[in-house]
Amino acid sequence: MQRDGEPTFRESVDLMFNRAVQLMDLGPGLEKKIKVCNSTYTVRFGVRLRGKIETFTGYRSVHSEHMEPVKGGIRFALSVNQDEVEALAALMTYKCALVETPFGGSKGGLCIDPRAWEEHELEAITRRFAYELIKRDLIHPAQNVPAPDMGTGEREMAWIADQYMRMNTTDINGRACVTGKPPHAGGIQGRVEATGRGVQYALREFFRQPEDKAAAKLSGGLEGKRVIVQGLGNVGYHAAKFLSEEDGCKITAIIERDGALTDERGLNIEDIRQWMVKHGTIKGYANATYVEDGTVLLEADCDILIPAAMEGVIHKGNAGNIKAPLIIEAANGPITFGADEILRQKGCIIIPDMYANAGGVTVSYFEWVKNLSHIRFGRMQRRAEESRHQMLVDELERLSADKGLGWTLSPGFKDKYLRGAGELELVRSGLDDTMRTAYQAMREVWHGRGDVEDLRTAAYIVSIGRVASSYISKGL
């Protein structure tokens, strides 16, 4: 949604891009080539529903094909429009470059309120939209690979994969045409949680850097930090759950579309999520204080603010009132260009979207590789790893017995050490490594150059540099 006096979402992304390229030395014309969106396909299609033909409008934008396939989610929301899809496609280009997933950037959207339709109706709509994109190679394992985004999830991805395979019955790599599928339909363990998990890993990496914490006037670890989360959907729920259950954060407020819940002692995220799933709203939840105008809580006192719902929620109108010293953009584009300026002047540290929510595309990459290799991660190595570990434990115990040393390995250690890594452990390890490596790349630019004020500009510089190298080596 565009606010008065503020740029559109796409313009906002372009302005942030401009701020970074001013500090770079790209060859003539390359800056424009990287910035523009290569193509946007608009499709209007009809589906017979409830006794009449309903017409829907959908989009698939391809921002950059410097690497193929291009990658980017499909969003189902009434707010979907060309500007938004193009902004999100551009962010995908920069995100993939930043976390080194070998993809160009793309995004899709369907203008629909998914809650207004029954499951079988949504299936018919999704399959028809997928059909329109597949027949133009806008869904294809080697060319364009969607994933879930706002309003879509495993179910929709399974319909899309099945639709592709019905239309391409001999394509042995057909399942790689889309990621975010359920594990029983070619998905991968850990994809549903991936974006929220990535937010957790990003924060852990941030808190490992004394200099960066000091810039946000924070100290210590994540334990006890007061966190406000906007949006208890896929990303917000997982981030809030992991941060509270595993890192000791206190989630002091959850802001949803129909109000907010607060509790200074920390909310029970799982309990609230169960309530939301059952009732479709946070209203009526008894174990917290309900606030009707939820958005005011974006301005409440906390250590970390996590906007995890949608774009443009922190704008020129409220940025001046934000108290959080650290914001991590779990959603795409939650802070407008104007708000970003105000927040930076206030000294607020922003961990930018293209890094913060890259966990989704990272695990999507693992899923795509799994589909192309037709084998689950860990299947060949796991038991071999376990038997080598068992040999070492046996040998230690034998030595101890032979020499009468009386050593015993603690049962907890033994259990953990002897268990070989399965798919979920490997996915989490790959994600953690990706988030740490990308953070280091950003902070080197942030602290190392002397002319970069913030992490967002640093992230753009890293990713634009990589996209530029890719174009140059193609001879463009």
Q: Under the rule (CB under 6 A), what is the footprint of ligand NAD? A: 148-151, 195, 230-236, 255-257, 308-310, 330-332, 357, 360
Cβ-proximal residue to ligand NAD, closest one: 233
Q: Residues 131, 58: contact at Cβ < 8 Å?
A: no
**Min CB(190)–ligand NAD separation in Å:** 12
Q: How far apart are CA 265 and CA 431, in angstroms?
A: 31
Point out the catalytic residue in the list 107, 225, 250, 370: 107
Q: Looking at beta carbons only, is 218 or 232 nearer to ligand NAD?
A: 232
**Min CB(447)–ligand NAD separation in Å:** 26
Three-state DSSP string of the chain? CCCCCCCCHHHHHHHHHHHHHCCCCCCCCHHHHHHCCCEEEEEEEEEEECCEEEEEEEEEEEEECCCCCEECCEEEECCCCHHHHHHHHHHHHHHHHHCCCCCEEEEEEEECCHHHCCHHHHHHHHHHHHHHHHCCCCCECCCEECCECCCCCHHHHHHHHHHHHHHCCCCCCHHHHCCCCCHHHCCCCCCCCHHHHHHHHHHHHHHCCHHHHHHCCCCCCCCCCEEEEECCCHHHHHHHHHHHHHCCCEEEEEEECCEEEECCCCCCHHHHHHHHHHHCCCCCCCCCEEECCHHHHHHCCCCEEEECCCCCCECCCCHHHCCCCEEECCCCCCECHHHHHHHHHHCCEEECHHHHCCHHHHHHHHHHHHHHHCCCCCCCCHHHHHHHHHHHHHHHHHHHHHCCCCCCCCHHHHHHHHCCCCHHHHHHHHHHHHHHHHHHHHHHHHHHCCCCCCHHHHHHHHHHHHHHHHHHHCCC
Q: Looking at beta carbons only, is 222 or 308 nearer to ligand NAD?
A: 308
**Min CB(328)–ligand NAD separation in Å:** 12
Q: Looking at beta carbons only, is 309 or 452 nearer to ligand NAD?
A: 309
107 is catalytic: yes
**Min CB(364)–ligand NAD separation in Å:** 8
For residue 386 the two structure tokens come to 């376990």
Q: How far apart are CA 474 and CA 476, in angstroms?
A: 6
Which residues, in sequence order, are CB contacts of 182 under 8 Å at separation 6+?
154, 155, 157, 158
**Min CB(148)–ligand NAD separation in Å:** 5
**Min CB(329)–ligand NAD separation in Å:** 9
Q: Looking at beta carbons only, is 141 or 148 nearer to ligand NAD?
A: 148
Q: Looking at beta carbons only, is 231 or 378 nearer to ligand NAD?
A: 231
Q: How far apart are CA 316 and CA 301, in angstroms?
A: 19
Among the listed residues 435, 463, 455, 451, the one whose alpha carbon sits nearest the alpha carbon of residue 213: 455
Q: How far apart are CA 31 and CA 262, in angstroms?
A: 45
Three-state DSSP string of 366-383? HHHHHHHHCCCCCCCCHH
Q: Looking at beta carbons only, is 80 or 150 nearer to ligand NAD?
A: 150
**Min CB(257)–ligand NAD separation in Å:** 4
**Min CB(393)–ligand NAD separation in Å:** 39
**Min CB(390)–ligand NAD separation in Å:** 38
Q: How far apart are CA 439 and CA 458, in angstroms?
A: 10
Q: Looking at beta carbons only, is 330 or 462 nearer to ligand NAD?
A: 330
Q: Looking at beta carbons only, is 58 or 148 nearer to ligand NAD?
A: 148
Q: Looking at beta carbons only, is 305 or 309 nearer to ligand NAD?
A: 309
State the catalytic residues. 107
